[in-house]
Amino acid sequence: MDDSLFINGKWHGGKKTFTSLNPATGKSIGSFALGTKKDVEKAIEAAEKALPEWAGTPAPKRGEYLFEISRLLRKNKEKLAARVTEEMGKVLNEARGDVQEAIDIFEYMGGEGRRLFGHTTPSEMNNKTAYTIRKPVGTVGIITPWNFPIAIPAWKISAALIGGNTIVFKPSSDTPRCAADLVRILDEAGIPPGVVNMITGSASEVGNEIVTNPRIRGLSFTGSRETGKWITQHAGIKKIGLELGGKNAIIVMEDANLDLAVEGIIWGAYGTTGQRCTAASRIIAHEKIRKPLEEKLAGRIEKLRIGNGMDSKTDIGPLINEKAVEKSLQYSIIGRKEGKLVEGGKALDTKGFFFEPTLFTGVKPRARIAQEEIFGPIAAILHVKNLNEAIRVCNNTVYGLSSSIYTNDITRAMRAIDQIEAGITYVNSSTIGAEVHLPFGGVKQTGNGTREAGSEGIHEFTETKTVYIDYSGRLQKAQIDNR
Protein backbone atom coordinates (compact mmCIF):
# COMPACT_ATOMS: atom_id res chain seq x y z
CA MET A 1 0.00 0.00 0.00
CA ASP A 2 1.87 3.06 -1.21
CA ASP A 3 -1.24 5.17 -1.95
CA SER A 4 -0.72 7.18 1.24
CA LEU A 5 -0.77 10.69 -0.20
CA PHE A 6 -4.29 12.10 0.10
CA ILE A 7 -4.59 15.35 -1.84
CA ASN A 8 -7.79 17.12 -2.89
CA GLY A 9 -9.94 14.10 -2.06
CA LYS A 10 -7.87 11.54 -3.98
CA TRP A 11 -5.25 8.95 -3.01
CA HIS A 12 -1.88 8.93 -4.74
CA GLY A 13 1.31 6.91 -4.62
CA GLY A 14 4.87 8.18 -4.67
CA LYS A 15 7.99 7.52 -6.73
CA LYS A 16 9.78 6.41 -3.56
CA THR A 17 8.44 4.48 -0.57
CA PHE A 18 9.35 3.60 2.99
CA THR A 19 8.34 0.67 5.18
CA SER A 20 6.31 0.58 8.39
CA LEU A 21 7.21 -2.23 10.80
CA ASN A 22 5.26 -4.20 13.38
CA PRO A 23 7.33 -3.47 16.52
CA ALA A 24 6.36 -6.80 18.10
CA THR A 25 7.84 -8.80 15.23
CA GLY A 26 10.10 -6.41 13.32
CA LYS A 27 8.31 -7.41 10.11
CA SER A 28 6.92 -5.06 7.48
CA ILE A 29 3.21 -4.25 7.47
CA GLY A 30 3.41 -2.28 4.24
CA SER A 31 5.12 0.37 2.18
CA PHE A 32 4.04 4.00 2.08
CA ALA A 33 4.70 6.94 -0.20
CA LEU A 34 7.71 9.08 0.57
CA GLY A 35 6.18 12.47 -0.06
CA THR A 36 8.09 15.43 -1.43
CA LYS A 37 8.10 19.20 -1.13
CA LYS A 38 6.12 19.32 -4.36
CA ASP A 39 3.44 17.06 -2.82
CA VAL A 40 3.15 19.43 0.14
CA GLU A 41 2.76 22.37 -2.23
CA LYS A 42 -0.05 20.54 -4.06
CA ALA A 43 -1.75 19.82 -0.73
CA ILE A 44 -1.50 23.48 0.29
CA GLU A 45 -3.02 24.55 -3.04
CA ALA A 46 -5.92 22.13 -2.53
CA ALA A 47 -6.42 23.32 1.05
CA GLU A 48 -6.40 26.98 0.05
CA LYS A 49 -8.91 26.32 -2.73
CA ALA A 50 -11.25 24.49 -0.33
CA LEU A 51 -10.92 27.05 2.47
CA PRO A 52 -13.57 29.66 1.50
CA GLU A 53 -16.39 27.14 1.18
CA TRP A 54 -15.43 25.16 4.31
CA ALA A 55 -14.92 28.30 6.43
CA GLY A 56 -18.23 29.60 5.09
CA THR A 57 -20.09 26.43 6.08
CA PRO A 58 -22.06 27.15 9.28
CA ALA A 59 -20.30 25.68 12.30
CA PRO A 60 -23.30 23.50 13.29
CA LYS A 61 -23.18 21.99 9.79
CA ARG A 62 -19.45 21.34 10.15
CA GLY A 63 -20.33 19.66 13.43
CA GLU A 64 -22.58 17.20 11.59
CA TYR A 65 -19.57 15.93 9.65
CA LEU A 66 -17.73 15.38 12.94
CA PHE A 67 -20.66 13.44 14.40
CA GLU A 68 -20.57 11.16 11.35
CA ILE A 69 -16.82 10.65 11.75
CA SER A 70 -17.39 9.71 15.39
CA ARG A 71 -20.08 7.22 14.33
CA LEU A 72 -17.81 5.59 11.76
CA LEU A 73 -14.94 5.37 14.23
CA ARG A 74 -17.24 3.64 16.71
CA LYS A 75 -18.43 1.23 14.00
CA ASN A 76 -14.83 0.34 13.12
CA LYS A 77 -13.39 0.48 16.63
CA GLU A 78 -12.24 -3.15 16.93
CA LYS A 79 -10.66 -3.22 13.50
CA LEU A 80 -8.85 0.08 14.09
CA ALA A 81 -7.66 -0.98 17.55
CA ALA A 82 -6.12 -4.15 16.13
CA ARG A 83 -4.32 -2.09 13.49
CA VAL A 84 -3.02 0.31 16.15
CA THR A 85 -1.59 -2.63 18.09
CA GLU A 86 -0.06 -4.10 14.95
CA GLU A 87 1.63 -0.87 13.86
CA MET A 88 2.37 0.91 17.15
CA GLY A 89 2.61 -2.02 19.56
CA LYS A 90 0.48 -0.99 22.54
CA VAL A 91 -1.63 -3.74 24.07
CA LEU A 92 -5.06 -4.20 22.56
CA ASN A 93 -7.01 -2.74 25.48
CA GLU A 94 -4.93 0.44 25.29
CA ALA A 95 -5.38 0.50 21.52
CA ARG A 96 -9.14 0.42 22.06
CA GLY A 97 -8.69 3.40 24.35
CA ASP A 98 -6.70 5.17 21.62
CA VAL A 99 -9.62 4.79 19.21
CA GLN A 100 -12.16 5.66 21.90
CA GLU A 101 -10.42 8.99 22.46
CA ALA A 102 -10.89 9.73 18.77
CA ILE A 103 -14.56 8.77 18.99
CA ASP A 104 -15.01 11.02 22.00
CA ILE A 105 -13.13 14.06 20.67
CA PHE A 106 -14.95 14.11 17.32
CA GLU A 107 -18.25 13.85 19.18
CA TYR A 108 -17.23 16.59 21.61
CA MET A 109 -15.92 18.96 18.93
CA GLY A 110 -19.02 18.31 16.84
CA GLY A 111 -21.05 19.70 19.73
CA GLU A 112 -18.80 22.75 19.85
CA GLY A 113 -20.20 23.63 16.42
CA ARG A 114 -23.20 25.05 18.27
CA ARG A 115 -21.03 26.93 20.74
CA LEU A 116 -17.76 28.42 19.44
CA PHE A 117 -18.19 31.02 22.11
CA GLY A 118 -16.99 34.57 21.93
CA HIS A 119 -18.02 37.03 24.61
CA THR A 120 -19.96 40.25 24.91
CA THR A 121 -19.01 43.18 27.09
CA PRO A 122 -20.54 46.61 27.74
CA SER A 123 -19.15 49.45 25.67
CA GLU A 124 -17.90 52.50 27.54
CA MET A 125 -20.25 54.58 25.39
CA ASN A 126 -24.01 54.68 24.88
CA ASN A 127 -25.65 53.15 21.82
CA LYS A 128 -22.68 50.93 21.06
CA THR A 129 -22.30 47.13 21.25
CA ALA A 130 -19.00 45.27 21.72
CA TYR A 131 -18.36 41.56 21.38
CA THR A 132 -15.95 38.93 20.01
CA ILE A 133 -16.32 36.04 17.60
CA ARG A 134 -14.02 33.16 16.60
CA LYS A 135 -12.69 32.91 13.05
CA PRO A 136 -10.58 30.18 11.40
CA VAL A 137 -6.82 30.61 11.18
CA GLY A 138 -6.87 29.40 7.56
CA THR A 139 -4.86 26.54 6.13
CA VAL A 140 -3.07 24.79 9.01
CA GLY A 141 -0.33 22.19 9.25
CA ILE A 142 -0.72 19.26 11.65
CA ILE A 143 2.30 17.09 12.55
CA THR A 144 1.67 14.17 14.89
CA PRO A 145 3.68 11.46 16.73
CA TRP A 146 3.36 7.69 16.69
CA ASN A 147 2.42 6.91 20.30
CA PHE A 148 -1.28 7.75 19.88
CA PRO A 149 -1.61 7.23 16.14
CA ILE A 150 -5.39 7.69 16.03
CA ALA A 151 -6.14 9.81 19.12
CA ILE A 152 -3.63 12.67 18.73
CA PRO A 153 -4.42 13.31 15.04
CA ALA A 154 -8.10 13.23 16.04
CA TRP A 155 -7.56 15.83 18.80
CA LYS A 156 -6.00 18.22 16.33
CA ILE A 157 -8.04 17.51 13.21
CA SER A 158 -11.41 17.71 14.99
CA ALA A 159 -10.62 21.10 16.53
CA ALA A 160 -9.20 22.43 13.26
CA LEU A 161 -12.26 21.30 11.30
CA ILE A 162 -14.88 22.69 13.66
CA GLY A 163 -12.97 25.97 13.65
CA GLY A 164 -13.39 26.19 9.86
CA ASN A 165 -9.79 25.50 8.83
CA THR A 166 -8.41 23.34 6.04
CA ILE A 167 -5.56 20.96 6.81
CA VAL A 168 -2.23 19.61 5.58
CA PHE A 169 -1.49 16.61 7.82
CA LYS A 170 1.83 14.81 8.26
CA PRO A 171 1.72 11.72 10.50
CA SER A 172 4.71 9.97 12.02
CA SER A 173 6.61 7.69 9.66
CA ASP A 174 6.35 4.96 12.31
CA THR A 175 2.54 4.83 12.05
CA PRO A 176 1.47 5.91 8.54
CA ARG A 177 -1.11 3.14 8.15
CA CYS A 178 -3.08 4.23 11.20
CA ALA A 179 -3.13 7.79 9.86
CA ALA A 180 -4.36 6.58 6.49
CA ASP A 181 -7.10 4.57 8.24
CA LEU A 182 -8.28 7.73 10.00
CA VAL A 183 -8.23 9.84 6.84
CA ARG A 184 -10.22 7.18 4.96
CA ILE A 185 -12.92 7.48 7.62
CA LEU A 186 -12.93 11.28 7.23
CA ASP A 187 -13.33 10.79 3.49
CA GLU A 188 -16.14 8.27 4.00
CA ALA A 189 -17.90 10.77 6.28
CA GLY A 190 -18.05 13.20 3.36
CA ILE A 191 -15.42 15.79 4.28
CA PRO A 192 -15.17 17.84 1.05
CA PRO A 193 -12.11 17.45 -1.22
CA GLY A 194 -9.16 19.59 -0.21
CA VAL A 195 -10.35 20.18 3.35
CA VAL A 196 -8.08 17.45 4.76
CA ASN A 197 -4.90 16.46 2.94
CA MET A 198 -2.31 13.95 4.17
CA ILE A 199 1.34 13.70 3.12
CA THR A 200 3.46 10.85 4.46
CA GLY A 201 7.23 11.13 4.36
CA SER A 202 10.33 12.42 6.08
CA ALA A 203 10.59 15.23 8.60
CA SER A 204 13.50 16.69 6.66
CA GLU A 205 11.44 17.25 3.51
CA VAL A 206 7.71 16.99 4.23
CA GLY A 207 7.84 18.25 7.80
CA ASN A 208 10.26 21.04 6.96
CA GLU A 209 8.06 22.33 4.15
CA ILE A 210 4.91 22.30 6.28
CA VAL A 211 6.71 24.20 9.05
CA THR A 212 8.40 26.84 6.92
CA ASN A 213 5.88 27.45 4.12
CA PRO A 214 4.36 30.92 4.67
CA ARG A 215 1.05 29.80 3.13
CA ILE A 216 0.55 27.54 6.15
CA ARG A 217 -0.98 30.04 8.58
CA GLY A 218 -1.12 27.82 11.65
CA LEU A 219 0.84 24.82 12.88
CA SER A 220 0.13 22.20 15.54
CA PHE A 221 2.94 19.87 16.55
CA THR A 222 3.33 17.11 19.15
CA GLY A 223 6.83 15.68 19.59
CA SER A 224 10.23 16.28 21.13
CA ARG A 225 11.38 19.46 22.83
CA GLU A 226 14.35 19.72 20.44
CA THR A 227 12.07 19.64 17.39
CA GLY A 228 9.77 22.15 19.07
CA LYS A 229 12.67 24.54 19.47
CA TRP A 230 13.58 24.13 15.80
CA ILE A 231 9.98 24.84 14.79
CA THR A 232 9.91 28.00 16.90
CA GLN A 233 13.06 29.24 15.17
CA HIS A 234 12.04 28.40 11.59
CA ALA A 235 8.24 28.56 11.27
CA GLY A 236 8.06 32.28 10.65
CA ILE A 237 5.07 34.38 11.63
CA LYS A 238 2.21 31.94 12.05
CA LYS A 239 0.09 30.63 14.89
CA ILE A 240 1.93 27.71 16.54
CA GLY A 241 0.79 25.12 19.07
CA LEU A 242 3.47 22.93 20.65
CA GLU A 243 3.11 19.88 22.90
CA LEU A 244 6.65 18.79 23.72
CA GLY A 245 6.72 16.18 26.44
CA GLY A 246 7.26 15.85 30.16
CA LYS A 247 9.21 14.44 33.08
CA ASN A 248 6.21 13.69 35.22
CA ALA A 249 6.25 12.83 38.90
CA ILE A 250 4.05 10.89 41.30
CA ILE A 251 4.42 12.06 44.91
CA VAL A 252 3.67 9.39 47.51
CA MET A 253 3.27 10.72 51.05
CA GLU A 254 3.59 8.60 54.18
CA ASP A 255 -0.19 8.66 54.76
CA ALA A 256 -1.01 7.39 51.26
CA ASN A 257 -2.86 4.20 50.44
CA LEU A 258 0.24 2.32 49.24
CA ASP A 259 -1.62 -0.36 47.30
CA LEU A 260 -3.49 2.34 45.39
CA ALA A 261 -0.26 4.28 44.80
CA VAL A 262 1.48 1.17 43.47
CA GLU A 263 -1.31 0.58 40.97
CA GLY A 264 -1.04 4.19 39.82
CA ILE A 265 2.75 3.99 39.49
CA ILE A 266 2.64 0.75 37.50
CA TRP A 267 0.05 2.22 35.14
CA GLY A 268 1.80 5.58 34.85
CA ALA A 269 5.36 4.28 34.45
CA TYR A 270 4.80 1.17 32.33
CA GLY A 271 1.48 1.65 30.55
CA THR A 272 2.11 2.07 26.81
CA THR A 273 5.63 0.83 27.68
CA GLY A 274 6.38 4.29 29.10
CA GLN A 275 5.81 5.88 25.69
CA ARG A 276 3.51 8.68 26.76
CA CYS A 277 4.36 12.33 27.28
CA THR A 278 2.42 11.97 30.57
CA ALA A 279 4.30 8.83 31.68
CA ALA A 280 5.35 8.78 35.35
CA SER A 281 9.12 8.45 35.18
CA ARG A 282 9.75 9.92 38.65
CA ILE A 283 8.34 8.57 41.93
CA ILE A 284 8.92 11.03 44.75
CA ALA A 285 8.45 8.95 47.90
CA HIS A 286 8.41 10.00 51.55
CA GLU A 287 11.37 8.31 53.27
CA LYS A 288 9.08 6.70 55.89
CA ILE A 289 7.42 4.49 53.28
CA ARG A 290 10.45 3.96 51.03
CA LYS A 291 11.04 0.28 51.75
CA PRO A 292 7.44 -0.99 51.65
CA LEU A 293 6.80 1.00 48.49
CA GLU A 294 9.89 -0.43 46.77
CA GLU A 295 8.99 -3.97 47.84
CA LYS A 296 5.41 -3.66 46.57
CA LEU A 297 6.58 -2.17 43.28
CA ALA A 298 9.22 -4.83 42.76
CA GLY A 299 6.63 -7.55 43.36
CA ARG A 300 4.25 -6.04 40.82
CA ILE A 301 6.94 -5.43 38.19
CA GLU A 302 8.09 -9.06 38.40
CA LYS A 303 4.59 -10.20 37.46
CA LEU A 304 4.23 -7.94 34.40
CA ARG A 305 4.08 -9.99 31.21
CA ILE A 306 5.93 -8.67 28.17
CA GLY A 307 4.89 -9.65 24.67
CA ASN A 308 2.83 -9.00 21.58
CA GLY A 309 0.00 -6.59 22.34
CA MET A 310 -2.45 -8.80 20.47
CA ASP A 311 -2.07 -11.45 23.19
CA SER A 312 -4.69 -10.84 25.88
CA LYS A 313 -2.22 -12.00 28.54
CA THR A 314 0.31 -9.28 27.67
CA ASP A 315 0.71 -6.35 30.07
CA ILE A 316 3.52 -4.51 28.27
CA GLY A 317 4.06 -4.42 24.53
CA PRO A 318 7.17 -3.49 22.56
CA LEU A 319 8.89 -0.16 22.14
CA ILE A 320 8.25 1.51 18.80
CA ASN A 321 11.56 0.71 17.10
CA GLU A 322 15.17 -0.35 17.54
CA LYS A 323 16.33 3.20 18.30
CA ALA A 324 13.92 3.33 21.23
CA VAL A 325 15.39 0.08 22.59
CA GLU A 326 18.91 1.49 22.26
CA LYS A 327 17.84 4.68 24.03
CA SER A 328 16.30 2.78 26.95
CA LEU A 329 19.40 0.61 27.19
CA GLN A 330 21.66 3.67 27.36
CA TYR A 331 19.54 5.21 30.13
CA SER A 332 19.61 1.90 31.96
CA ILE A 333 23.42 2.05 31.90
CA ILE A 334 23.30 5.65 33.14
CA GLY A 335 20.83 4.67 35.85
CA ARG A 336 23.16 2.04 37.27
CA LYS A 337 25.64 4.85 37.93
CA GLU A 338 23.05 7.21 39.40
CA GLY A 339 21.04 4.85 41.61
CA LYS A 340 20.37 1.26 42.60
CA LEU A 341 18.70 -1.06 40.09
CA VAL A 342 15.61 -2.67 41.63
CA GLU A 343 14.13 -4.44 38.59
CA GLY A 344 14.69 -4.81 34.85
CA GLY A 345 17.34 -2.95 32.93
CA LYS A 346 17.72 -5.19 29.87
CA ALA A 347 16.46 -5.54 26.32
CA LEU A 348 14.87 -8.87 25.52
CA ASP A 349 16.86 -11.16 23.24
CA THR A 350 13.95 -11.91 20.93
CA LYS A 351 12.26 -10.72 17.77
CA GLY A 352 10.70 -7.31 18.05
CA PHE A 353 11.66 -4.29 20.13
CA PHE A 354 11.14 -5.32 23.75
CA PHE A 355 12.65 -3.87 26.93
CA GLU A 356 12.09 -4.93 30.52
CA PRO A 357 10.10 -2.64 32.84
CA THR A 358 12.88 -1.02 34.86
CA LEU A 359 13.01 0.64 38.28
CA PHE A 360 15.84 2.48 40.03
CA THR A 361 15.89 3.78 43.59
CA GLY A 362 18.06 6.18 45.59
CA VAL A 363 18.20 8.59 42.64
CA LYS A 364 19.13 12.25 43.23
CA PRO A 365 16.92 15.06 41.85
CA ARG A 366 19.57 16.31 39.40
CA ALA A 367 20.46 12.86 38.03
CA ARG A 368 20.01 12.46 34.28
CA ILE A 369 17.38 9.74 34.67
CA ALA A 370 15.46 12.17 36.91
CA GLN A 371 15.74 15.05 34.44
CA GLU A 372 15.68 13.77 30.87
CA GLU A 373 12.67 12.39 29.06
CA ILE A 374 13.38 8.72 28.30
CA PHE A 375 10.12 7.64 26.62
CA GLY A 376 10.61 4.07 27.69
CA PRO A 377 9.66 1.76 30.61
CA ILE A 378 12.14 3.25 33.10
CA ALA A 379 11.21 4.93 36.38
CA ALA A 380 13.29 6.35 39.23
CA ILE A 381 12.44 6.62 42.93
CA LEU A 382 13.60 9.78 44.72
CA HIS A 383 13.35 10.06 48.51
CA VAL A 384 12.14 13.15 50.39
CA LYS A 385 11.50 14.12 54.02
CA ASN A 386 8.32 16.17 53.74
CA LEU A 387 5.75 17.72 51.41
CA ASN A 388 7.74 20.92 50.88
CA GLU A 389 10.73 18.95 49.64
CA ALA A 390 8.47 16.74 47.51
CA ILE A 391 6.97 19.73 45.71
CA ARG A 392 10.40 21.33 45.28
CA VAL A 393 11.79 18.12 43.75
CA CYS A 394 8.70 17.73 41.58
CA ASN A 395 9.21 21.24 40.17
CA ASN A 396 12.94 20.69 39.66
CA THR A 397 12.68 20.02 35.91
CA VAL A 398 12.38 22.02 32.70
CA TYR A 399 9.09 20.26 31.95
CA GLY A 400 5.66 20.80 33.45
CA LEU A 401 3.02 18.55 31.92
CA SER A 402 1.40 16.11 34.34
CA SER A 403 1.76 15.42 38.06
CA SER A 404 0.20 13.36 40.81
CA ILE A 405 0.07 13.14 44.59
CA TYR A 406 -1.09 10.24 46.74
CA THR A 407 -2.23 11.37 50.19
CA ASN A 408 -5.27 11.14 52.45
CA ASP A 409 -4.74 14.68 53.75
CA ILE A 410 -6.88 17.23 51.90
CA THR A 411 -4.61 20.07 53.01
CA ARG A 412 -1.59 18.40 51.46
CA ALA A 413 -3.55 17.68 48.29
CA MET A 414 -4.65 21.29 47.94
CA ARG A 415 -1.13 22.60 48.57
CA ALA A 416 0.18 20.30 45.86
CA ILE A 417 -2.49 21.47 43.41
CA ASP A 418 -1.57 25.08 44.16
CA GLN A 419 2.23 24.77 44.11
CA ILE A 420 3.13 22.09 41.58
CA GLU A 421 4.26 23.61 38.27
CA ALA A 422 2.30 21.51 35.79
CA GLY A 423 -0.61 21.81 33.42
CA ILE A 424 -2.32 18.79 35.00
CA THR A 425 -2.41 17.54 38.60
CA TYR A 426 -4.10 14.32 39.74
CA VAL A 427 -4.91 13.47 43.35
CA ASN A 428 -4.84 9.77 44.28
CA SER A 429 -4.63 8.82 40.62
CA SER A 430 -1.86 8.30 38.09
CA THR A 431 -0.33 10.90 35.76
CA ILE A 432 -2.18 9.53 32.72
CA GLY A 433 -5.87 9.53 31.95
CA ALA A 434 -6.82 12.86 30.35
CA GLU A 435 -10.48 13.29 29.34
CA VAL A 436 -11.37 14.97 26.06
CA HIS A 437 -13.71 17.61 27.52
CA LEU A 438 -10.89 19.16 29.59
CA PRO A 439 -7.85 21.07 28.28
CA PHE A 440 -4.60 19.14 27.91
CA GLY A 441 -1.14 20.71 27.94
CA GLY A 442 1.68 21.91 30.13
CA VAL A 443 3.86 24.75 31.31
CA LYS A 444 7.55 25.62 31.09
CA GLN A 445 9.29 23.75 28.24
CA THR A 446 6.46 21.29 27.83
CA GLY A 447 4.96 23.68 25.30
CA ASN A 448 4.16 27.25 24.41
CA GLY A 449 0.97 27.69 26.39
CA THR A 450 -1.58 26.22 23.99
CA ARG A 451 -4.02 23.56 25.13
CA GLU A 452 -5.63 20.69 23.25
CA ALA A 453 -9.07 19.15 23.81
CA GLY A 454 -11.88 20.79 25.73
CA SER A 455 -13.26 24.14 24.65
CA GLU A 456 -9.75 25.62 24.86
CA GLY A 457 -8.63 23.21 22.14
CA ILE A 458 -10.55 25.32 19.64
CA HIS A 459 -8.45 28.38 20.50
CA GLU A 460 -5.37 26.77 18.95
CA PHE A 461 -7.13 26.74 15.57
CA THR A 462 -9.12 29.97 15.68
CA GLU A 463 -8.47 33.67 15.94
CA THR A 464 -10.40 36.14 18.07
CA LYS A 465 -12.13 38.91 16.14
CA THR A 466 -13.43 41.93 18.04
CA VAL A 467 -16.58 43.65 16.74
CA TYR A 468 -17.93 47.14 17.56
CA ILE A 469 -21.36 48.24 16.35
CA ASP A 470 -22.16 51.92 16.86
CA TYR A 471 -25.82 52.80 16.38
CA SER A 472 -25.65 56.29 17.94
CA GLY A 473 -25.81 58.05 14.59
CA ARG A 474 -22.69 60.10 15.30
CA LEU A 475 -18.93 59.59 15.54
CA GLN A 476 -18.10 58.55 19.09
CA LYS A 477 -14.45 58.55 20.10
CA ALA A 478 -13.33 55.93 22.60
CA GLN A 479 -11.33 57.24 25.56
CA ILE A 480 -12.40 60.78 24.59
CA ASP A 481 -16.19 61.04 24.35
CA ASN A 482 -16.77 58.81 27.36
CA ARG A 483 -15.54 61.34 29.91
Residues tagged active-site:
243, 277
**SS3 category, 139:** strand
**SS3 category, 19:** strand
Beta bridge partners of 218: 140, 239
**Judging by DSSP bridges, how do beta strands 378-384 and 402-406 pair with one another?**
unpaired
C-alpha dihedral over 124, 128, 131, 136, to 10 degrees? Answer: -130
> 391 near 416, Cβ under 8 Å?
yes
- Burial of residue 34 (CB within 10 Å: 0-12, 13-18, 19+) is buried
> 286 near 253, Cβ under 8 Å?
yes
End-to-end alpha carbon distance in the chain? 70
Helices in 288-430 by DSSP H: which ranges? 290-303, 322-338, 387-394, 410-419
Which amino acid makes up residue 157? I
- Burial of residue 214 (CB within 10 Å: 0-12, 13-18, 19+) is exposed
> 283 near 380, Cβ under 8 Å?
yes
> 450 near 241, Cβ under 8 Å?
yes
User: Cα–Cα distance between 201 and 223 in angstroms, integer?
Assistant: 16
> 72 near 189, Cβ under 8 Å?
yes
**SS3 category, 28:** strand
Element (H, E) at 151: helix 151-162
Buried residues in 98-130 as b, exposed as e (16+ CB within 10 A): bbbbbbbbbbbbbebbeebeeeeeebebeebeb
∠ at Cα 149 (143, 152), nearest 5°? 60
Q: How many helices (H) and strands (E) does the chain have?
A: 13, 19
